[in-house]
Structure 1
Amino acid sequence: MTTNEMYEKSDSAWLAACAAPGRHWFHLSGALRTLETLFTITRWGALAWTAQAAMDRARAHETWGLVAFAVTSVLAVGADWTAGTLAERGARAVATGLRQQLTGALLPTAGRISETGPAEAAWAMVDLADDVADFHARTAPLSRSAPLSMIAVLAVTAAVHWPAAIVLVLSTALLPLNMRLAGLFAQHGVDRQSAATRHLNAVVLDSFRGMRTLRELGAVGRRGRTLTTAAEQLNKATMSVLRRAFLSGMIMDVVITFSIAVNATYIGLSLLGYVQVPHAPRLDLFTGLLVLLVCPMYFAPMRARASAFHQRERALIAVGVIRDIVNDTPAEVIGAVRPRLTEPVGVSLTAVRFRYGGADEDTVTADADFAPGTWTAITGASGSGKSTLLSLIAGLRRPSAGSVRWQTSFVRRAPALGGCAWVGQQTVLLDATVRDNIRLGRPDAAEQRIRQAVEAAGLSAVIEGLPEGLNTRLGEGGWGVSTGEARRIAIARAFLRGARLWLLDEPTAHLDADSEREVVEALRRATDGCTVIVATHSLPLAAAADTVLAIDDGLLHDVRPVKGR
């Protein structure tokens, strides 16, 4: 078995397992699809009976036939609607299950070692989960109902006129080969479409994120042409898939139309008396009309399965991406249990090495101890590994080798996700009030505690200057704050969490001297009695530290004490 065949088998198994959350609904939907077939057969029987009664001028039979036709029509429509509703419910359950897995894998709480790009993450979360769910909603009920429905149609056809059933059986032998060819024919086109979609997602996301830089460089027009090219590539790939699907569907229609035409010709010639199969029952209007009406029903499940071949290829592409993201998540996830809040937390790095997947060299190599209640500054050039080292200490990533431990006088354990406070160089403000933005990490915080966080972060004067104080709305369509004020809101958030270990990633980046001084003063107040590890280029911030460590090409070294705070 080749590597591609092994991956395809794995993807197929994964695709089948994804149906589990909606399997109950799909089973019910399949049962109702079968019931719909039985109601439809009865409906066409009632119509044929009515036509025969009209020819025989049997008024009573004609009336009862019309009543039966109306009743079974209502039942068939009701069964079809209910089956569709149940299939949609199952699809929602499948999509929700996949998105829950993706959420666990993409968020930091999963402790992933490698990174998933935001464009691919959004594509998987928004589009690919729906591709898998839609596939199961279409095929899972069909796989249950199709055999029973085809057997029911074939049994009725054989019961009323067996030569017509033989024609259906002979035609059936041609269809599986065509369905397989249709799937193989469409696979290459779907691969191209998925690659084009991924590329367009990345281009759009990068364009929005870097719009300010593009504008400053005068490169907006060039980027627009890149975006147009990516969109045209996706359009060509999509049209190619549609052409392939149309061609494979046309081949299927030719086979089905030929079978129905043979039966229709035979029935017409038999009714006219030109053809008579030995030992075959006599054909009348009722028999011939019923056979003609139910023959297309025999091929309907096959037609649906053939069109699902194309959808299956899309679902397999989706599953391949989702599986790679989810399977990259470590099996053992560290719980978000906070250390004791009454003590500052020390950190110990023992022979720690970290290497990104596919990298030739380690990104970080470190041996160090951070004493409880002290400030440590980590300096180094951009890209030297400072942020990666902080993420290892926080438990957002796991080391490739060695160990990271948090310790107090009572416990020594691996990093606990959510157990430390993190302040970075970018502060995200939600479209919400100042109060809601501050208590983001602790929604149940009391008002007194929020006021303490505001005071510790040096936000009191800022809050007083806002139109509605803490109730002032920030974000899109709301009030604006400066970068330094936003950074102090982040400090208030961290203070509100009550963590005794603070990790600061360039907290004074892009600030002027006055704003930097205010942020440093806010950090000193908010972190009193806490352990602080800060990655920084700022000399004033490094001067506030008890110890300074340098990191050069990922290697942590040159531990040197500085004057205490």
Structure 2
Amino acid sequence: MTTNETNEGCEPSAVGKRPDDDAWLTACAAPGRHWFGLSATLQTLGTLFTITRWGALAWTAQAVMDRATTHETWGLVAFAVTSVPAVGADRMAGILADRGARAVATGLRQQLTGALLPTAGRIPTAGRIGETGPAEAAWAVVDLADDVADFHAQAAPLRRSALLSMLAVLAVTAAVHWPAAIVLVLTTALLPLNMRLAGLFAQHGADRQLAATRHLNAVVLDSFRGLRTLRELGAVGRRGRTLTTAAERLNKATMSVLRRAFLSGVIMDVVITFSIAVNATYIGLSLLGYVQVPHAPRLTLFTGLLVLLVCPMYFAPMRARAAAFHQRERATNAAGVIRDIVKGTPDEPIRAAYPRPTEPVGVSLTAVRHRYDGADQDTVQADADFAPGTWTAITGASGAGKSTVLALIAGLRRPTAGTVGWRTSSGLQAPVLGGCAWVGQRTVLLDATVRDNIRLGRPEAGERQIRRAVDAAGLNTVIERLPDGLDTRLGEGGWGVSTGEARRIAIARAFLRGARLWLLDEPTAHLDADSEHDVVAALRRATDGCTVIVATHSAPLAATADTVLAIDDGRLRDTRPVNA
């Protein structure tokens, strides 16, 4: 488990926000920019239609006061006619903003998928692949992408429509009664300062909430992943308390953010309410004849009611911008996390030719050095050649770097220095993701049939090809005893298979890919002697004529190899005697 339980009482560190996160957050809106532009246009049109609607209503009220039946009828007709486009424009603006949000979220998820699950031909950046934990990866894909998209859906259309909408309302107010417009302008000067102070006030709380969410995600994932171990150690109760503490910490951080947002919202509402109240008081006193501004036009019921109806519209964009301002802190923090994951990943995959499947593949490691971020020294130093069609075993203590060597050869990591190359008849080329077969010590079986699990890496494979893979992996006897043969469902709620049988399913899966370079990471780990013998035999059959590089602690498996290399103090060396 990755979560450090000894630090349960420690406060999670706040996530630092960098200046370039804002620029990156803005750039994220690109996939939805078209939809956001249309939404902004409709928001502005909606404002104009609504002003017209309120004008019709005010006209109707004046007609009722004047007992002008004809004007009253036409006023009601105008109100009904203008209400349809006003409501329709606002609704359509929301729909288009949602489409833009989906485009932004999809774009971010594609970037995250490209960084977390690189496809064949995409060259990963040094040290990025595999360093993001599963909890943070899932959190970024599921939640953080939506945080960024929701912010842009709210802020991007407002950024274009807010000023136009406010100017339209101000122009109408000034046209019918300019003193009321002056009150609106004077009040507006107080709002940007309030929004900025509110944002600074909420930033620290948003940072704490992000850190608490990250901590809780890690605790939950680790708890489920290590549930069996926790039960065996009798540590379920303690882990439950850790989970409760992390949840309470997130709850406190969330409530703190809500309190700060509520307080800043109250301040803005006070300013807006004060402005509307001043105008309402002035209009009421003017209509009663108690107040008269020199050179101001005479107030009527129509002009006074119209001013009162459009005043809230003047502040509506600023109120929405304030809500988006609070959401920006969350979106900026989310963008920082996503940016750390995807940085250095090319927008388009770099394609390279696959080795021909009928051709054995050799491997060359030339002055290869690999150092993890933050490490004081190299994890691996290697100069080695792996001849085509041979078996090579790499041995060494746990943590010595065996898996790192395999990851370098597979292209899952790039070396800090030196070159890794695959040799074919066409020359030396860089590793190609997906161009080799990989069998690890942990076999992932999906909640699907045996057939679907075998053809996971090659969905288009036919029945004859699947049967060949079953034969090569020695799975015939296993398939025969399953109730529905290849159609037996595995996984949660399905049929269970042993660890050795699952390993042979992985071998069949790898065989079906047709790759001539196999990388095996502890393929016989956690197996008894008989199961290990069966798996090694299956591997020998399946890899006939292929280049095989296996990282192992198993002496029987290493003894079957043509060459045995060892990692000692991070250096890969040949274990054969000098004169051998």
Which category of TM-score, normalised to the shorter sequence, fits these structures? over 0.9
- Aligned position for 1:103: 113
Partner of 1:152: 168
Residue 452 of structure 1 is matched in structure 2 by: 468
- Given candidates 12, 23, 31, the residue that maps to 1:21 is 31
Aligned residues: 559
Change (3 A) 1:89 1:332: closer
Q: How does 1:202-213 map to 2 (within 5 A)?
A: 202-213=218-229
Distance 1:471 1:272 in 2: 86
Q: How far did 1:108 drift?
A: 4.1
Shift of 1:531: 0.7
Q: CA deviation at 1:67?
A: 1.4
Aligned counterparts of 1:404 and 1:312: Cα–Cα separation in 2: 43
Distance verdict in 2 for CA 1:370–1:559, change over 3 Å: farther
- Kindly state the Cα deviation for residue 474 of structure 1 after the two structures are TM-superposed: 1.2
Match of 2:90 in 1: 80
Of the three residues 446, 449, 456, the one matched with 1:433 is 449
1:72 Cα deviation (Å)? 1.6
Is 1:316 aligned to residue 326 of structure 2? no
2:52 to 28, 42, 57: 42
For residue 174 of structure 1, report the CA deviation from its aligned partner: 0.9
Equivalent of 1:382 in 398, 402, 424? 398
CA distance in 1, matches of 2:491, 2:212: 34
* Deviation, structure 1 residue 331: 7.9
Report runs of 4+ in structure 1 exceeding 4 Å deviation.
330-334
Paired residue secondary structure (2:558): helix
Q: In 2, Cα distance between the equivalents of 1:83 and 1:108?
A: 36
Residue 169 of structure 2 is aligned to residue 134 of structure 1 = no
Question: After superposition, what is the alpha-carbon deviation per residue over 1:189-218, rounded to whole angstroms, capped at 9, x for unaligned?
Answer: 100100100010011111111111111110
Greater CA drift, 516-525 or 461-470: 461-470
Deviation for aligned residue 1:408:
2.3
Alignment check: 8 A CA contact 1:179 1:309 kept: yes
- d(CA) in 1 for partners of 2:395, 2:528: 19
Name the structure 1 match of 2:9.
none
**CA distance in structure 2 between the aligned counterparts of 1:561 and 1:342, rounded to whole angstroms:** 34
SS in 1 for 2:520: strand
Letter of the aligned partner of 1:211 in structure 2?
Answer: L
Measured in 1, the distance between the counterparts of 2:437 and 2:520 equals 8
After superposition, what is the alpha-carbon deviation per residue over 1:65-109, rounded to whole angstroms, capped at 9, x for unaligned? 111112222221111111110000000000000000011111244
User: Out of 248, 252, 261, which is 1:245 matched to?
Assistant: 261
Shift of 1:246: 0.6
Partners in 2 of 1:230 and 1:415 — Cα distance? 42
Which deviates the most, 325-334 or 534-543?
A: 325-334
Are the counterparts in 1 of residues 112 and 338 from structure 2 also a CA contact under 8 Å?
Answer: yes
- Alignment check: 8 A CA contact 1:334 1:417 kept: no
Using the alignment, how far apart are the partners of 2:219 and 2:196 within structure 1?
35
| In structure 1, C-alpha distance between the alignment counterparts of 2:353 and 2:403, rounded to whole Å | 23
Shift of 1:7: 6.3
Are residue 276 (structure 1) and residue 286 (structure 2) matched?
Answer: no
Gaps of 5+ in 2: 1-13
Q: What code does the residue aligned with 1:100 have?
A: Q
Q: CA deviation at 1:449?
A: 1.1
| Equivalent AA in structure 2 for residue 14 of structure 1 | W
- In 1, are the aligned partners of 2:17 and 2:333 still within 8 Å (CA)? no
Any gaps of 5 or more consecutive residues in structure 1?
none
Which of 550, 558, 575 lines up with 1:534 in the alignment?
550
Deviation at 1:409, TM superposition (A): 3.1
Question: Are the equivalent residues in 2 in contact too, given 1:419–1:499 (CA < 8 A)?
Answer: yes
When the two structures are superposed, what TM-score results if normalisation uses the length of structure 1?
0.97
Residue type of the alignment partner of 1:222: R
| 1-structure distance, mates of 2:576, 2:71 | 103
> 2 CA distance for matches of 1:334 and 1:275?
75
Contact kept in structure 2, 1:546 and 1:561, CA below 8 Å: no
Question: How high is the TM-score relative to the length of structure 2?
Answer: 0.94
Which residue is equivalent to 2:510? 494
Counting only pairs closer than 5 Å after superposition, residues 461-476 of structure 1 correspond to structure 2 as 461-476=477-492
From 451, 455, 480, give the equivalent of 2:496.
480
CA distance in 1, matches of 2:82, 2:195: 32
Q: Which residue of 1 aligns with 2:358?
A: 342
**Distance in 1 of aligned mates of 2:423 and 2:349:** 19
Secondary structure, in 3 states, of the residue corresponding to 1:560? Answer: coil
The answer as to whether partners of 1:336 and 1:417 remain within 8 angstroms in 2 is no
Q: Identify if the C-alpha distance between structure 1 residues 292 and 152 changes in structure 2 by more than 3 Å, giving closer, same or farther.
A: same
Comparing 221-230 with 405-414, which one deviates more in the overlay?
Answer: 405-414
Query: What's the counterpart of residue 241 of structure 2?
Result: 225
Deviation at 1:239, TM superposition (A): 0.5
Matched, 1:366 2:382: yes
The structure 2 residue matched to 1:59, chosen from 46, 59, 69, is 69
1:494 shift after superposition: 0.8
Cα pair 1:336 1:418 within 8 Å, conserved: no
* SS in structure 1 at match of 2:575: strand
CA distance in 2, matches of 1:494, 1:553: 32
- Asked whether the equivalents of residues 111 and 333 of structure 1 are also in contact (C-alpha less than 8 Å), the reply is no
Is contact 1:29–1:86 with CA below 8 Å preserved after alignment? yes
Paired residues of 2:43 and 2:161 also in contact (CA < 8 A): yes
Amino acid at match of 2:506: A
Secondary structure of residue in 2 paired with 1:89: helix
Percent identity of paired positions between Structure 1 and Structure 2: 84
CA RMSD of aligned residues (A): 1.7
> What is the distance in 2 between the residues matched to 1:146 and 1:332?
36
